[in-house]
Structures are given as C-alpha cells and as structure tokens.
Amino acid sequence: MHRRDPFTLALLIAPAAVVFGAFFLLPLAELFVIGGSGPQGWAAYASVVTNPRHLQSLVSTVTLSAGVTAATLAISTVSGLFLVRNRFPGRALLLAMLTFPLAFPGVVVGFMVIMLAGRQGLIGEATHALTGGRVVFAYSMAGLFLGYIYFSIPRVILTVMAAAEKLDPQLEEAARSLGARPWQVVAHVVLPALKPAFLSAGAICFATAMGAFGTAFTLATRINVLPMVIYTEFTLQANIAMAAALSFVLGLVTWAALALARSFAGSTVAAAG
Amino acid sequence: MRRYGPAFWAQLSFTLLVCALLVVPVVLSMAAGLTVNYFVGIRSGLTLRWVAEVWALYADTIRLSLGIAVACLACTLVLGVPAAYVLARAKGPVARAIEELLVMPVAVPGLATALALIVTYGGAGDFRRSWLFILVGHVLFTLPFMVRAVLAVMTSIDLKTLEEGAASLGASFVQRFFQVVVPNCASGILAGSLMVFTLSVGEFNLTWLLHTPLTKTLPVGLADSYASMRIEIGSAYTLVFFLMIIPSLILLQLLGRRGRR
C-alpha cells in the first residue's frame, strides 16, 4: 500500500504505548525491584513457598479458585446449553438476568453474599424460621466461594453460549442417527466441541478468582487468601517489599494461567472466527 | 409447538434457580435501601430517608466517580481507538506482542497494578494526592476493553477495501479515519464506551489502594458503608450505584443482542 503507512501506524499507537509504558510496564519493573529490596532480599520471591503462612494462603487461594472455576463451568454449561437449544417464552428475560451482574464490582458482590448468607440474610432468616437455628456463612471461605461463583457466572455463560451457537447441528444429527443416546451425544460430541470455550472461560474465571480483592475485603479481612495477605502486609505490617514480591508472583500466576489457556485454545478459537 | 419433556423442565428449574441466586440478593438490597427497618421487614414501611442520608454522607464520592468515569472514557477513546486501528491493520509478531501487552492489566490483579503505581509514583506528592492518580489506574484497567471491542468490529468489516475506496477518491488519512473508519466501527466504539464507563464507576481493586481521604470514589464509599453503617444505608448506597450502572448495562445487552443477529 502506501509508503508512509508504517510511520502513520506507529504515530497512532504511540500515545497508548507511552501511557502504557510509563504507567504499567515501568511500575511493574519497579515493583519487581522493590520486591527484592527488603530485609530478605530476592528470597522474598520464594517466600510464597518457603513461608508456611504464605504457602498456606497460596494453597487455599488456588483451591478456592479451582473449585469456583469447576462449579461455574458446570453451572454455566447446563444453563447455557439449555438456553441455546430451547426457545420458549421468557427466554430473553432469563438470559438478561443471568448476564446482568457482568460488571458488578467485587465489593457489591460481597454485599450480595451478605444479603443472602449474612447475619440478616435470606438463608439465615429461612433456616431460623424452619429449624430455629441460623445458618450464616457469608463471612468465611464458603461465602467467598458463593461470591466468586456469583461474579463468574455471567462471563462464563456468555462464552459457553457463544461457542455452543457455533456448533454444527449436523454432527449431533449424525451421532443420533448412529444410535447415540442423548447423554452420549452430549458427552462425546457437544462437550468435546466446547473444550476451547471451557479453557478460555475457565482460565478467565480462575485468574479473576485468584486476584479478586473487593469481595474478600467486604466479607472479612480474616479470610486467608493471597490478595488479603498482600493487603495486610502492605497496610498493617508496612512490609512493602514483601507485598510487592507477593503481588508480583500473584500477577505472574494469573497472567500465566490466561496465556496458557490461550495457547491451548488459541488455534481453535481463531479458526472459529 | 412441541411438548416439553421432563429434561426440559429439569433444566429450566435449574436455570431458574441460578437466576434466583443472581437476582434475589439484588432485589433484597434494593428493598432494604427503601425499608424503614430491614430487621422488622417491609411492613415497617417504605422510606427515602436512607437514600437522603447516603446523599448527605457520600454525594462527593458519587460526583468524583462520575467525573473519573467520563475522563476515563475520554482517555480510552483517544488512546484506544487509534491503537485498535493499528492492531487491525498491522499483521505480524510485533503487533500481536503489543496486543498481548495491552490486555495485561486485565490479567494482572488490580492489587498488583496499584502497588506498582504506588511504589513508582507514590513519592510525587501532588500527583499521588489528586484524582488523576486514580484516573491513571482506571485508564490502564479499562483500555483493553475499549481496544478489544473496537478491534472485534474492525476485523469483522473489510476495512482495507473501504479505505482504499476512500483513498482512490482522494481522501486524506485524517478524512479516511474520521469519515470512514470511525463511523464503520461505531457499534464497537459504543459497546467499548459503555463497558469502560460501567467498569470505571465500579472499579475497586485498584482504587482502594490508590485513593486518599480526599479522593474517595463511590465503590470506596460503598466498602466504607458496608463496614461501618447500618445495612439500610449500605443498601440505599448500593441502590444509587445500581441506578448509575443499569442504563449502560441494559444498552450493552441490547447492543449484544443486535450483534448476535
């Protein structure tokens, strides 16, 4: 095309590149250096596995995030496939309700969990009326689990539905005509075809749950997840080097999870358009 | 119409249950914000008293959040639309690497980004204390959403042919960009803008570390009210927040539905 094109293109992306470099890449590099400048030196980076308290919070964060990812994928697949395959009155409204909390911030999601499972929450009132006891689990790992599922369902369901709409119905038709039962069609045709969507949606779900802070902050500062540990190191202990090292490691984990899923799902996703 | 089998009803019940999980707490919190005494229940009567108290306590956080969201939108438009155009036009590993880098602030937790900004620019007193410090965080976090929304539309239309047509008629680059490229990407720009606005109004992970006592945004105020105020005030405040983001969420859904057709 035009000879001056590369120059124009470089000029157009320059503002974004400058802002991004000055306020993201440079600070991340600084964060990395600061992380190694504490009393422990570069060993701070290993502390997430050498310090028992940090290791424990890493393990519980990863377990929580993996559990949330599995549960959200299962829920979203059942409901997403149902909505893709059936047309009935009220379907659009159901879909709107399922995707509505898409942009809720973590603090608000935390408050929603309190509304459901908090001291004055719906579940507590219901169990109080039924049994006399009061079930309250908002301010614990279980509350966080519920909150992260709440937060993740809209995102995951949209990805699963978008992939399911692109499936070729002839494949299922063929499987059925060969005598496959409905569950066999789902297990051997539909679910394998949705694998790229599961990988990318699951990775986003996992990374978000690993790094989320607002929900845990609203529910209880005592919940032992990595973002809360980082926050405590930074504010209460004023241990900036440790907070920097831990948050750098956390960022690396979430970014790697996403990059890995993209490289697995990448070719298929790109082919799907 | 065909008859629905038991599998249909089972799946419908499950989906309704999931809907209830998402919607019931929203309705409860809205009701709580308008109830005289939530502990007694709705029979204690309805009132706007809590909303008025929220306004008295937190009006400045609402104003600041709106201001930051609008400024953030302006920044992401100016930075993001040209960047998306470059990424749509340029092929090759460098463009892909830039794209990968640009979406990093979504992958990296807000806590880490905020800490990085603080350790780097925390010493610049005036900047650290001003709302611009929060704006920087919001722009970093929302820019990928603008770039991706615009890029998605740009790659789906035949940008090259459109531009070549305009160029053959003697249109300069600036004319082509504003009169051909931008109008053809209007739906992507609109979707990106709504997303950026909504995310900026609700951003907490970064903002909690970046804010100062004089630069509290709405979500910072929300966290504060959940921790220290009675549940009716927290609910009324949440109600105000919902009223601010629901219009753009509805528009986003309408846009998405039109796009799927």
Q: Does one domain contain both B193 and B106?
A: yes
- Please check whether residue B52 lies inside any domain of the structure: no
What is the helix (H) or strand (E) element at residue B205, kind and residue range? none
Question: Would you say A123 and A146 are in contact if contact means Cβ atoms under 8 Å apart?
Answer: no
Task: Tell me the CATH number of domain A55-272, given options 3.20.20.140, 1.10.10.10, 1.10.3720.10, 3.40.50.300.
Answer: 1.10.3720.10
Judged by CB atoms closer than 8 Å, whether chains meet at B209 and A107 is answered as no
Q: Which of these, B233, B240, B243, B221, lies nearest to B37 by C-alpha position? A: B233
Whole-angstrom distance, CA of residue A253 vs CA of residue B69:
29
Q: Does one domain contain both B136 and B33?
A: no
Backbone angles phi, psi at A136, to 5 degrees: -130, 115
- Please check whether residue B72 lies inside any domain of the structure: yes
Q: Does one domain contain both B195 and B232?
A: yes
Q: Does one domain contain both B233 and B253?
A: yes
Query: Looking at this predicted complex, what is its ipTM?
Result: 0.87
At A114 the pLDDT is 92
pLDDT digits (tens, 9 = 90+) for A67-116: 999 999 999 999 999 999 888 898 989 988 898 888 889 999 999 999 99
Domain boundaries, chain A: 55-272
Q: Does one domain contain both B252 and B181?
A: yes
Share of chain A residues as helix, strand and coil, in percent rounded to the nearest 5: 80, 0, 20
Judged by CB atoms closer than 8 Å, whether chains meet at A108 and B105 is answered as no
- Number of Cβ within a 10 Å radius of residue A47: 18
Q: Of the candidates B29, B47, B65, which is a domain's last residue?
A: B47
Using DSSP's 3-state secondary structure scheme, residue B45 falls into strand
Give the range of the structural domain holding residue B235, as residue numbers without chain letter: 57-260
Indicate which of B17, B120, B121 best probes the interface with A, i.e. most A CBs within 10 Å of its own CB: B120
Judged by CB atoms closer than 8 Å, whether chains meet at A28 and B108 is answered as yes
Q: Residues 165..184 of A with a Cβ closer than 8 Å to B: which?
A: 165, 182
Q: Does one domain contain both B167 and B242?
A: yes
Q: Does one domain contain both B19 and B125?
A: no
Q: Does one domain contain both B87 and B149?
A: yes
Q: How many helices (H) and strands (E) does chain B have?
A: 14, 2
- Say which CATH number the domain at B105 has: 1.10.3720.10
Backbone angles phi, psi at A149, to 5 degrees: -65, -45
Question: Would you say A80 and A155 are in contact if contact means Cβ atoms under 8 Å apart?
Answer: no
- Please check whether residue B71 lies inside any domain of the structure: yes
pTM recorded for the entire structure: 0.88
How many folded domains does chain B comprise?
2
Q: Is A198 exposed, middle or buried (0-12, 13-18, 19+ CB in 10 A)?
A: buried
Instruction: Determine the residue of chain A that is closest to B16 in CA distance.
Output: A94
Judged by CB atoms closer than 8 Å, whether chains meet at A251 and B109 is answered as yes
Minimum distance, in Å, between the CA of residue A44 and any CA atom of chain B: 16
Indicate which of B23, B115, B220 best probes the interface with A, i.e. most A CBs within 10 Å of its own CB: B115
Q: Which two tokens stand for residue A184?
A: 């066999």
pLDDT tens digits for chain B (261 residues)?
Answer: 456 788 889 999 999 999 999 999 999 999 888 888 887 777 788 888 888 888 988 889 999 999 999 999 999 999 999 999 999 888 788 888 888 888 888 888 888 999 999 989 988 778 888 899 999 999 999 999 999 999 989 888 888 888 888 888 888 888 888 888 888 889 999 999 999 999 999 999 999 999 988 899 999 999 999 988 888 899 999 999 999 998 888 888 888 777 654
What is the helix (H) or strand (E) element at residue B204, kind and residue range? none
